[in-house]
Structure 1
Amino acid sequence: MIRKTATAFLLALPLAFCEPAAAQAPVTYTVAFPNAVHHEARVSVTFAQLPNGPLQVCMARSSPGRYALHEFAKNVYDVKATDSKGKALSISRPDPYGWDVEGHDGTVVFSYTLFGDRTDGTYAGIDVRHAHLNIPATLAYARGLEQRPAEVKFDLPTGWQVASQLRPDAAKGTWYAPNLQYLMDSPTSLGPQKIRTWKEQGRTIEMQVLHEGTDAELDSYVAQAKKVVKEAAAVFGELPEYDFGRYTFVANYLPQTSGDGMEHRNSTSLTSNRPLRGAGALDNLGTVSHEFFHSWNVERIRPKDLEPFDFDRANMSSNLWFAEGFTQYYGELLLRRAGAYTDQQYYEEALNGLVNSILLSPGAAKYSPVQMSQQAPFVDAAAAIDPNNRTNTYLSYYYIGGANALALDLELRANHKTTLDAFMRAVWQQHGKPQRNYAPERPYTIPDLQRVLGEVSKDTAFAGRFFREHIYGHELPKFEQLLAPAGLQLRKAKAGQASLGLNRFQFLPDSSGALLPSTSIIGSPLYVAGLDREDVLLKLDGQPLKRAKVLQQLLAKHKPGDVVPLEVRARDGVRTVQIKLQEDSMLEVVPLPTATRQQLAFRKEWLSGKAK
């Protein structure tokens, strides 16, 4: 059976049915947890005021903020459908992610059991302590009814509360979304919430948290988050006009959760098994910083090629270098401006990662940020079992975009008497702030970003060259020159030390050698010697490689350029090859002890807090 497209289905509707969506019967859901101990929810959805003909019900195949396919229907079973009188209806399965329901009387009550045991920003995690629900992984929808409002009733176990950007309706005991796009963009956490609420620029910001720590730890964490919120607002000059007047951090910090952060229009889903103290608190705060910046960049400053989001397919964008990459840069910078990082921590935790990733990645020298963005459907939590060569062909759009954001910020400050902050504010004013019907009025294209850069820098030739060389092209930033005005030096982190390259190893549990788990890096000694994935390094210079410390000690006895014998077990058997060691290529950013007053002032203006 060939399924109709949504457009064809709408064209087939009778004229009497073509009234405004808001005036039509809302789609109503009930979500209950009679078997939460075994990670199940029971979901019922009522579709009313339907036209004649089959109702096409489906589960989403992708999720806002994720770009690969996830096929959420795989966790749905025990499907039933009845009409308004409780009569069982005929259900057929035209494809793996949908159901056709026939013979209804204008109403379909569609119910099913949902299994979910992964608590993160993509899936559903259900147990006796909580339920963390990504809505595309949880709620089925009907084609042709996408513009109808939705109401969700959560049948909660004792002691649980709801954390969501959905609008509560206390009189009905339901949670409201104006349409399917908003519903699918609204992660919801159910459990014994710890709630902290504050006002910022007249907006309500709330953090609703599930965690095992103390109230004092949560209060300290929220105090830091408030500073991050202020610094993010300072970049753009204002907070967005959040729908329904509030922004919600939907946070789950329980041991069973998987580390993740996922941005949404008026909320963010935060999941981590790290506690809100020590290094765990700082790590979690980094996710808060990154995801909150998204409430401007990607949620309202939105690329045209992601608007509207399509739940039926993988969503490819050429703009993730900006949407995610520039956000990656600011997520770390805001931690420094908010005082969560010292200058030294910022160099070590942020700058070193960005600089090393782009300058040492073989992929970054081959492919542009635009091309890396287009790879998202294959890498953004996408599942595949065949080996790949991404070690040599790919660099995450987070890092290639973040490194170019760093380079552009330094270039604007040094040579154009402006900043990346000013550029982001201009993009916000032109392409983010104008909103209508819970969506951007003017989603951007890459030429739009180039035009705004020309306006802010007052140099259209520079803007054209930057995009041509660094965004459409793959020319690498000259960080040694770019960092100098800030009194920072780029140097080899382990100058003079011998290395086998940046390849990673897995030392075997029986201490028989070091496995090369992925393809060897182009240009490395192992690559030049013809070694590759699944080869095992047995002996270096005649010494067995039992553990990582042994390899380090052996390399320390040599210098770059030395040729040493390496015994390996490869697919063609055990053999010995001659390896020419190279200098360790890792880089680090360090402050110059002789930095001038002008350089120190440049650095301070760049890294210091901007919030009033």
Structure 2
Amino acid sequence: MLMMRKSAAILLLSLPLALSRPAAAQAPVHYTVAFPNAAHHEARITVTFRDVPAGPLHVRMARSSPGRYALHEFAKNVYDVQATSAQGKPLSVVKPDPYGWDVTGHDGTVTFTYTLFGDRTDGTYAGIDQRHAHLNMPATLAFARGLEQRPAEVKFELPAGWTVASQLRPDAGGYYAPHLQYLMDSPTSLGPQKVRSWQEQGRTIEMQVLHEGTDAELDAYVGQTKKVVKEAAAIFGGLPEYDFGRYTFVANHLPQTSGDGMEHRNSTSLTSNRPLRGTGTLDNLGTVSHEFFHSWNVERIRPQDLEPFDFERANMSSNLWFAEGFTQYYGELLLRRAGVYSDEQYCQEALSGIVDAMITMPGPKRYSPVYMSQQAPFVDAAAAIDPNNRSNTYLSYYYIGAGNALALDLELRQRFKTDLDTYMRTLWKQHGQQQNYAPAKPYTLQDLQRVLGEVTKDTAFAGQFFRQHISGHELPNYEQLMAPAGFLVRRAHAGQATLEARLQFNPDSSATLGTTLLGSPFYLAGLDREDVLLKVDGKKPTNAKEMQQRLAAHKPGDVLQVEVRAREGVRTVPITLQENSDLEVVPYELAGRPLTKAQKKFRAAWLNGKAK
């Protein structure tokens, strides 16, 4: 039994040696992506795994995607699966679960081939047609368990006129990624790209764009983007060291595109069916600004509970209020500093929405930003068909995070003669600058509090802020915080009577209630979603305009008799009108209030551009 054939001994000895080699020295995983049936939204993908250890090869499709926290089950769009050996021999393929395939009988090489269907162009899925292919890699490329640290090489077989936009490194006729984490984080757009490239602080910044507009519209879009890039870099004292010296805006603005933005280490995926002109310009620039800020915050200043990203489960973080919410705050602030917004537009487009959501919605009064972050797997593009009560229990971590970023920035400026820029820059130095295709020192919630204490030189304040506003749910006093900048928080429709309800008007001149908000007139009357209003104050609710005209004749506190068909039958209930609770933020000068020199100085220090 101790004796064995020489060939078998050599084989057994060679396996540990192969497995002990550095990942970069191991056989790369080779992908070929072709589009023989693009008209019907199909790609044909071939993956070759070499130097495969003995035993089954577990091939998987991702279930989740970086920057998305819910499950998306990308295997549902994969079919026509085949596997062969190095000699082309068919191999056994079995499906142990809905998410992957086990391949057995191989000789150390497995060529795995499948068809992918994709017809949604956004930051999560794959969109394929005769004009282009926009590929989010977790939705596109299968991988093998145990080979995640190997380099990957991707070859695209392109239709005539198509080019490649990707943060992947061009390499010998294909594209290179150092390991699976980087590969899956590299969205790729294929099509007749229009390219604009420029140098910024020794880095190459490029926009590769698919759109139907003019070159002049694209040039104007790029011009505004350059200003945003400069202002973002000014916050952190410079641009990151992009892994291959290049940052790419992978932009798709075709009519079939779904609106989305998704951050990545050295690129961002921008998708929108809005053209690069008119009202679409501001929306598209808002996405540019938000996603570019992510190249620091979340991609390099990264929460420890998201590192490394797990492609086979939902990924929960307690820190999305910071990773996404603070980015939401800065995305809008950068547009003001870049001169895209005036002060009035900044109030209308950014501050009013943040303050109104924080103060008037039930969620922030009940639950903390940490809790809202932990809900992401249920709300971040997650699909479910059962009703929920999120109107009364939830506010997006984008909004609740931005609301706390705004409050903290103003408080730092008023009490500590510092600002949120300094806080972000300090976090960058401690937790962001050190990189090797991944953050070397991801942060925890405790790190965020500790650095705040260092910046303010007041650990008691830092602890109190986190207890009250981050782990707790105490609301900031925005009226007080905004006053030094000469901004007024006020009722947007003071004295206006409202039902505070979402109504769907029906063809039979009835109206169906949506989920009623805590404390609203219908909620207090015991009415809820799917209850149908038959008459309001003796008249049928025919449409929104007519209902608004009717309410305009009343004042808050008036009682209306409402005939309603609920689950228990038809009844008439009294409804007490309330004052419209919508809030807005306006500059003092537009509200007829004098603006002092001190307020002008404070506002300028906060909102004016910082780039030189």
Equivalent residues of 2:516, 2:522 under 8 A apart: yes
Q: Give yes or no for the alignment of 1:73 onto 2:58.
A: no
The amino acid of 2:530's aligned partner reads E
Shift of 1:568: 1.6
One-letter amino acid of the structure 2 residue matched with residue 143 of structure 1: R
Aligned partner of 2:188 in structure 1 is: 188
Q: Secondary structure at the match of 1:176?
A: strand
Name the structure 2 match of 1:544: 540
Correspondence 1:581 to 2:577: yes
Contact 1:73 1:97 in 2 (8 A): yes
Deviations 1:215-259 (A, max 9, x none): 000000000000000011111111000010000000000000000
Other structure's SS at 1:443 match: coil
Distance across 2 between alignment mates of 1:167 and 1:543: 66
Deviations 1:481-501 (A, max 9, x none): 000111111111111111112
Residue 471 of structure 2: aligned partner: 472
Q: CA–CA distance in 2 between the matches of 1:364 and 1:262? A: 26
> Counterpart of 1:541 in structure 2: which amino acid?
D
- Secondary structure of 1:406's counterpart equals helix
Shift of 1:511: 4.8
Indicate the residue corresponding to 1:294 in structure 2.
Answer: 294
Confirm or deny: 8 A CA contact 2:343 2:587 kept in the other structure. no
Q: How big is the shift at 1:355? A: 0.3
Post-superposition shift, 1:14? 3.2
- Does the alignment pair 1:443 with 2:442? yes
Give the superposition deviation at 1:572. 2.1
Equivalent residue number for residue 586 of structure 2: 590
Distance of 2:414 and 2:545 partners within structure 1 = 44
2:43 pairs with 41, 44, 67, which one? Answer: 41
Q: Is the 8 A contact 1:538 1:544 kept in 2?
A: yes
Letter in 2 for 1:540: V
Question: What are the superposed Cα offsets for residues 441-491 of structure 1, whole Å, 9 maximum, x if unpaired?
Answer: 110001111111111112111111100100000000100100011111111
Identity %: 76
Kept in 2: contact 1:515–1:534 (CA 8 A): yes
Offset, 1:18: 2.0
Please report how far the alpha carbon of residue 574 of structure 1 lies from its aligned counterpart in structure 2 after TM superposition. Answer: 2.4
Matches for 1:29-428 after TM superposition, within 5 Å: 29-169=31-171, 172-428=172-428
2:511 is the alignment partner of 1:514 = yes
1:563 corresponding residue in structure 2: 559
2:481 corresponding residue in structure 1: 482
Q: SS of the residue aligned with 2:276?
A: coil
**Partner letter of residue 464 of structure 1?**
G
Q: Alpha-carbon deviations, 1:548-586, whole Å to 9, x = none?
A: 011111111111111111122222222211000011001
Match of 1:457 in 2: 456
Q: Which runs of 5+ in 2 are unaligned?
A: 1-13
**Whole-angstrom distance in 1 between the partners of 2:115 and 2:75:** 11
Counterpart amino acid of residue 214 in structure 1: T
Cα offset for 1:19? Answer: 1.0
- The corresponding residue for 1:500 is 499
Q: Helix, strand or coil for the counterpart of 1:14?
A: helix
Q: Following the alignment from structure 1 to structure 2, what is the Cα–Cα distance between the partners of residues 299 and 511?
A: 52
TM-score, reference length from structure 1 = 0.96
Q: Secondary structure at the match of 2:32?
A: strand
Retained in 2: the 8 A contact 1:206–1:249? yes
Q: How far apart, in 1, do the equivalents of 2:237 and 2:315 lie?
A: 31
Alpha-carbon shift at residue 367 of structure 1 (Å): 0.4
Secondary structure of 1:79's partner? strand
Distance 1:445 1:199 in 2: 34
Aligned residues: 595
**Contact kept in structure 1, 2:18 and 2:26, CA below 8 Å:** no
Q: CA RMSD in A?
A: 1.0
In structure 2, distance between residues paired with 1:433 and 1:537: 58
- Structure 2 CA distance for aligned equivalents of residues 181 and 494 of structure 1: 50
CA distance in 1, matches of 2:121, 2:153: 23
Per-residue CA deviation, residues 86-132 of structure 1 (Å, 9 max, x unaligned), is 00000111010110101111100000000000000000000000000
Aligned-partner Cα distance in 2 for 1:29–1:471: 44
Q: What amino acid sits opposite 1:335 in the alignment?
A: L
Alpha-carbon distance in structure 1 between the residues aligned to 2:505 and 2:211? 35
Letter in 2 for 1:447: Q
| Distance (Å, rounded) in 2 between the aligned partners of 1:266 and 1:476 | 36
Deviation at residue 78 of structure 1 after TM alignment:
0.1
- Structure 1 residue 572 corresponds to structure 2 residue 568: yes
Specify the SS of the correspondent of 1:244.
coil
CA deviation after TM superposition for structure 1 residue 15, in Å: 4.1
Structure 2 CA distance for aligned equivalents of residues 478 and 531 of structure 1: 32
Counterpart of 1:485, as a letter, is P
Greater alpha carbon shift after TM alignment, 292-301 vs 590-599: 590-599
Q: Deviations over 1:413-450 (max 9, x none)?
A: 111100100100000000011112x1111100011111
Distance 2:312 2:521 in 1: 45
Provide the secondary structure at the position in 2 that maps to 1:189. strand
The whole-number CA distance in structure 1 between the counterparts of 2:169 and 2:79 is 29
Alpha-carbon shift at residue 513 of structure 1 (Å): 1.9
In structure 1, what residue type is equivalent to 2:309? Answer: F
Matched residue SS, 1:46: strand
CA distance in 2: counterparts of 1:442 and 1:574, whole angstroms: 62
Q: Which amino acid aligns with 1:547?
A: N
**Partner deviation per Cα, 1:272-328 (whole Å, 9 max, x = no partner):** 000000110110000000000000000000000000000010000000000000000
Asked if the contact 1:540–1:554 (Cα under 8 Å) also holds between the matched residues in 2, the reply is no
One-letter identity of the residue aligned with 2:512 = L
- Matched residue SS, 2:407: helix
Offset, 1:71:
0.5
Q: How far apart are the structure 1 equivalents of 2:289 and 2:275?
A: 17
